[in-house]
Structure 1
């Protein structure tokens, strides 16, 4: 079985919650990514995405230079561990319809990120099923919604 540590992107850049939205957007642009784990020291406290900045901040008229990441980040962040299998993580991503997960080590420090793309490129089989599950329009309409297992990790 393949573990997440074998397919994840390592050396992920994180951002502190008190950083400006402008800095988060600049960092995403520099790194060519759409999401950043938000860490207070070494502890994961949330995620911020380009969509958070656009939908939550810009739509609300927040000035990117004067408002912080913590104001629009997603606090209830799903995550996985580096020793979980790719099958477990693909199921988790499909069940909760997310495209990327921070990867934590046994000390709960961010050591990487795994995306739908990482799994599609490096994991054979079931990625078409994962893409369908992640992309399904809404939870009540999903054919397997009642069987979905929700992880707190």
Structure 2
């Protein structure tokens, strides 16, 4: 099973590290999964053996994106991510940042998209304190949930 409870992920990752697997972690809301997400996750996976994706809970998404979000419930967002070949594990977190889950997992590499800067990431310090590195990867231009929503709202035939 790819969808793991937060209280079980630490043990799984510890065992994988004993097998000398490189652990890559990324996180996000992943509301309305699109090709930008797919390409981003495939690139993230290319940096290691195991890709763990942290998914913001519904309440966390509302705090970050507004009361109308998410459009897709957390259990469905997690199931969609788990269905992707590049994703090894999916874990939900309730906080607005992935700091607590990063303290548990202690990944070798923490991946964020090109729309972020390392110095602006509150979790970067935790990653480095635990021996990991932060890697900013390519931004998939024009591919975002926000753009999809705008396109839907702008269509006259809906």
Q: Structure 2 length normalisation: TM-score? A: 0.25
